[in-house]
Amino acid sequence: MSILTSSDPKYNVLDLGFDRSLVKINKPDNVDIVFTPEMRSSFSEGIVPKTITSGKVPAILDVNGLLTVGGIIYSKQYVYTNFESADGWTGGANLDARLGGSAIHVPNVSGSKEEINAEIFGGGGVFYTTKNPGFQCGLECSATTNQTIYFGVGDLNIGDGTENGFGFKIANGTLYALHTESDGVTSTERLDEITGITLTDSNNYKALYISNSKIEFYVNNILMLTQTTNLLVSGNDDDPVLMSFSVKTLENAAKAIYLRYALFFQDF
């Protein structure tokens, strides 16, 4: 981009769509300025970024041609997997890991169940409702009915009374928004039905715990339901389980869930 001066009578800066506050920058020959896409977009529009967002590089270009670039600022924790291996997961005896995804299979015996859980060391909590935790995954069911499936953040459907987390449940063909809380001895499930979803399709599921006050549930980027009452107590979200997936067959027929990816995130 160049700025034409009055020596060329055919044009001026107004003809180029800029106002008169735009100035020409004289760059020394020994200085190279590399514009990132964000910086290039901001400069070409004649503006300076007003806020610093997660993962962005803030840059200010002043009237003297001084370019000030700050450091990268990250405000969230991200954990991502596409299930190409069982590393980092407990359970998973029937986890069939493939390139770009995997499947959890259960045999054709009624009551058979398989689950995988991602845990951390140290005995402390891994997700906190006060830090806006969220979860997203790509999942497809091999069948619709006669099965129970759990997937989401935290300890879900372990069966020992310590279940604590939020996400989704599929029970005999019905999809539910789920959050569950334990007092250390017993756990309570809170379910709200989500309709209109074909479970045997490859769907994107997302759950967001926002400001310790509500949980939003999305399917294929559409907000399906919001839970605002009887939510997890922030002092009880100290389970070491990060994410969990499970499938149980309720008939003498094999079942499977196909996992494309999973993402967990929360504020630092």
Which pTM value belongs to this model? Answer: 0.70
- Cα separation of 146 and 111, whole Å? 10
Residue 17 clears pLDDT 80, i.e. is over it: no
Quick one: what percent of the chain has pLDDT higher than 90? 34
Euclidean distance between CA atoms 146 and 148, whole angstroms: 7
> Residue range 84-88: average pLDDT?
78
**Predicted local confidence at residue 52, as pLDDT:** 46
Give the pLDDT band of residue 233 (cuts 50, 70, 90).
low
Distance CA 181, CA 165 (A): 7
Kindly state the percentage of the chain with pLDDT values over 70.
Answer: 64
Question: What integer best gives the mean pLDDT of the chain?
Answer: 75
Instruction: Tell me what the mean pLDDT of segment 80-87 comes to.
Output: 82
- The CA distance from 136 to 185, in Å, is 29
Confidence band (pLDDT; 50, 70, 90) for 151? very high
Q: Are 188 and 194 in contact (CB under 8 A)?
A: no
Contacts for 21 with CB less than 8 Å, ≥ 6 apart:
none
Q: What is the pLDDT of residue 43?
A: 38
Q: What is the pLDDT of residue 191?
A: 92
- Structural domains of the chain ordered from first start: 1-74 (no CATH), 76-267 (2.60.120.200)
